[in-house]
Chains A and B, each alone.
Chain A
Amino acid sequence: MRRARGHTVVEMLVSLALLSALGMVLFFLFSTGTRSFRMLLTRQGLQAEARRIAAVLRRDLVLTHYRSAGYLNRVDATTGEQRDGMIFVGMDDWSNTADVTRFDSNLRPKWNRRVIWYATSRESEKLSPRGDRKLGQLIRKVVDTGPILFPLPYTAFGPMMASPQASTNDFKVYSRNVVMFGAQLDPATETVTAHLVLRERSGTAPTGDKQIVESFEVFIDTHPENTWPAL
């Protein structure tokens, strides 16, 4: 019986080199794929977050009265980014137009709340340890005021935006990834524009010394439909 011939050292080294190269390629591909997947997830997450914000904010704005809208320009002291706040009238329940406590004979809403959207600055992030400390929160707060006879701007709402936790009023955090939230009013077209930039880390670069961040920017232009009488 003939004894099987073994592998030579050279063959082993060549095989090892080839396997290593293949392994590196596979690892690179896997790493890239994983990173891309995380980036994709982050991007999708930001987009979904922005869409959700846009849907809620747009509905709030569509149903409000333009001339009730006011805004405050605020800048985050650390980052210099815009963290505005906007306020306008709203109503607690739009579902039943036959409800005479909420709609008059022409179905004009009897405004009974102020809706505030605002972005916090870094200081108020201390209770939100997750994520980038330079980012702010986007908060929707409602203040049930009782009847608001005339839907005109309420400008003294700065203190209401100090800290969501300091208030017992209803609020909801819609994002913790806010780089910038800008509010603008165009009286010529009675349009409210919100400019929102979100950002989130999705990992580190292959070199390991640089963060990879995903950003998503959206402009939400809305014409409030209950602006009567119209311009």
Chain B
Amino acid sequence: MNRRGIALAMVMTMLGLLTLMTTAFVAINHSNFGLLNASIDQENATRACYDAYAYAHYALENNKRWGTDFSTLPPAESADVASEMNIVVVDPNTLQGTLKEPDGSLSRITFTLTVINNLRPGGAPVARGGFPTVAPETCYIRVVGNSTGLERRLETVFATSPLFDSSALASGYIDIDARNSLTFDSLDKYRNTVRANGDITVPDGVIANRVHFDWTADPALNALPRKGMLWSKGAIRSGPTDLSLAINNPQRQQFENHSKGFVANNAAKTNNIYDLGFDDFKMYDTTPQVDIKPGKYVFGTATYDVNFDYQQLDRFGNPATDFLGRPVMGNTTRGISFPALIRMENGVAQEMWVKDGTVPPPGAPLPGALNSTILSITPQQSAGAEHQIADGIVRLTDIAVNPSTIPAGTSATIDIEGADFNVGANTILNVVGDFAMTSEVGTNPGPGLHRDVEAKLHLGYDVGAAPVAGQLGAIKASGTLTVREVDGNGALVANSDLTMQAGGQVSTDPNIGIALYGNRDVIMDPAGMAPADIGTPGAIVDSKFKGLVYAGRNFEMRKPPPAITNPSSVDIEGALVAKRGNIWIDEATNVKLTYNPIFLTKLVKDRPDDDIRLERQSFNLN
């Protein structure tokens, strides 16, 4: 072989090597690019799924009927959506979309969005080929994202849920001072939460162990090491300890171990609380309503002087005569007291009701023992006589004697002697203006209230009877509503403040849901109670409500007067809501707040679309 042959062989060898290297380089690059593209396509398909899901969720939140029939709906509801994606209708349940590039051109990323909207209440399950059966009051969404043939599938289900999801909810702070114990319970299998957008302050659960979570919805739940949660956008304090600490801080863990609940402070998002309007209650559409006049209905003891002519008896019991043989006559004035109810407006008495026989008509005998020296008496009532009662004056001519029902035809009855005001079964008393029912204070001797005139409000049952399950009575005032003791089944609703000046027990029906509603403040203020009241039969010190307790602003439970040291408890089952304000319970002995969705579910049913609250039930990405 000559030198040229050697050179050729070397050149060929080198060329072969170079070819091999180039081929390997290209192959490896191709493989890398393939992997890279597959990875990018997977990311793109996932992005398509999330984008379409976000679009569907947004659309559904704005229109709960969205997806029931795409053939009659515009495919894109806003310019924002149109700038992000191009959407076309495939069939009444299906949309097909293509994501847009930043310059507005169509990308290679597409998606197919299928919606089976069965949110309408009372519907039947919807079975559609290739899809899971969609239960009533749920909405199924499937998105198949595609990027250059690579697909990912996202499935999710939304369902209607109670308007309120916690035993206590406040836009501001929650401050509960329970001197003995504070218990958060739940009759829901999934929810046991207390939420505030402000701070939460509870009694000492770190050392004194005064805070407890229960979960009586199920024994298995109640046996769990963690049963509930305090959730706050601000800080969470337990007695003197600020629990806004690291998640593994010993004090925080001690609180969680003792209370058996989680602490979630400084939450990143705001908890939006549903704004329940005064006219939103369906209960008023189906229940008979009767109107009563507004004002302050005051139970009290009316006293006034009656002037009497009398004839005297002699020592033998015969009518006495003077030396001329004429009967010995005299005249005297005697005070008469009788239980009465007076309706006041702006401090002026408008009407008064009294019990039969308590005010003797002219010529009638005076009640009570007669003076042995008096033969007979004749009250001399005159038109225009004035009687002081409570903080007003009523004239005799205004007295309507013994209309035990006010006004005629309504189901509100009054037992004046017992100072009972009863709202009859399945009746709503509708008051245009303010309504107050209180007792006369100050005109009676002795400290505090006089038990004989303690005004009691009974809901849903008549005088002398007992509450009957399912028989409801309610008072709805377009202004303020003020009562003292209250018990029974039904609701108290005020478009302004709702004030209770003593304890109370109100249970509502799950089909109604609302127990107490004040579109401004809901206040429990037992300041007027005196030690003599405590322990007296019929006196209600504790507060126990079953149903939704809703305050448009603040819920306040003020402490009793210092003289009252008896234990008092607060027990609310349903939900306690302070829409725009705070929840403040001051110096109660025991407080128990139990979440019970049964009182909150009916608020959602048959309501306008925008009032339905949706919750995502599941999420699956394959």
Would you call A187 and B220 a contact (CB within 8 A)?
no
Would you call B617 and A108 a contact (CB within 8 A)?
yes
The one of B159, B220, B221, B620 that contacts A97, using a Cβ cutoff of 8 Å: B620
Would you call A189 and B226 a contact (CB within 8 A)?
no
Within 8 A of B (CB), among A204-231: 225-226, 228-231
Would you call B267 and A189 a contact (CB within 8 A)?
yes
Quick one: closest A residue to B162, CB to CB?
A: A229
CB distance from B75 to the nearest CB of A (A): 25
Cα distance A184–B246 when bound, in Å?
A: 10
Q: Does A90 contact B (CB under 8 A)?
A: no
Q: Does A37 contact B (CB under 8 A)?
A: no
Cα distance A62–B225 when bound, in Å?
A: 24
Chain A residue contacts of B616, Cβ below 8 A: 225, 228, 230
CB distance from A103 to the nearest CB of B (A): 7
Q: Does A153 contact B (CB under 8 A)?
A: yes
Would you call B138 and A188 a contact (CB within 8 A)?
no
Q: Does A54 contact B (CB under 8 A)?
A: no
Quick one: closest B residue to A109, CB to CB?
A: B618
Q: Does A185 contact B (CB under 8 A)?
A: yes
Q: Does B248 contact A (CB under 8 A)?
A: yes
Contact residues on A (Cβ < 8 Å of other chain), bracket = 20 to 34
Chain B residue contacts of A229, Cβ below 8 A: 161, 165, 190-191, 615
Q: Does B333 contact A (CB under 8 A)?
A: no
Would you call A106 and B617 a contact (CB within 8 A)?
yes
| Known contacts A188-B268, A231-B264; A152 and B620 CB within 8 A of each other | no
Would you call B133 and A228 a contact (CB within 8 A)?
no
Within 8 A of B (CB), among A58-102: 59, 62-63, 67, 73, 94-95, 97-98
Cα distance A189–B132 when bound, in Å?
A: 31
Chain A residue contacts of B220, Cβ below 8 A: 149-150
Q: Does A105 contact B (CB under 8 A)?
A: yes
Contact residues on B (Cβ < 8 Å of other chain), bracket = 35 or more
The one of B248, B265, B622 that contacts A94, using a Cβ cutoff of 8 Å: B622
CB distance from B265 to the nearest CB of A (A): 6
Would you call B617 and A188 a contact (CB within 8 A)?
no
Would you call B226 and A153 a contact (CB within 8 A)?
yes
Cα distance A130–B619 when bound, in Å?
A: 40
Cα distance A152–B266 when bound, in Å?
A: 22
Would you call B264 and A152 a contact (CB within 8 A)?
no
- As a 0/1 sequence over residues 427 to 456 of chain B, the CB contacts with chain A under 8 angstroms (1 = contact) are 000000000000000000000000000000
Q: Does B155 contact A (CB under 8 A)?
A: yes
Chain B residue contacts of A97, Cβ below 8 A: 132, 155, 620
Would you call B135 and A105 a contact (CB within 8 A)?
yes
Q: Does A107 contact B (CB under 8 A)?
A: yes
Would you call B225 and A155 a contact (CB within 8 A)?
yes
Within 8 A of A (CB), among B485-513: none
Counting from the closest, the 3 A-B pairs by CB-CB distance are A225-B619, A187-B264, A188-B267
Q: Can you name 26 A-B residue pairings with CB atoms under 8 Å?
A: A63-B620, A98-B132, A105-B133, A105-B135, A105-B138, A106-B159, A106-B617, A107-B132, A107-B155, A107-B156, A107-B617, A108-B157, A108-B618, A150-B221, A152-B226, A184-B247, A186-B247, A187-B264, A188-B266, A188-B268, A189-B267, A228-B617, A229-B161, A230-B615, A230-B616, A231-B193
Which residues of B are at the interface with A, using a C-beta cutoff of 8 A? Answer: 125, 131-133, 135, 138, 140, 155-157, 159, 161, 165, 190-191, 193, 220-221, 224-226, 229, 231, 247-248, 262-269, 615-622
Starting from the known contacts A105-B138, A106-B618, 7 additional A-B residue pairs (CB-CB under 8 Å) come to A62-B621, A63-B620, A106-B135, A106-B159, A107-B140, A107-B157, A153-B226
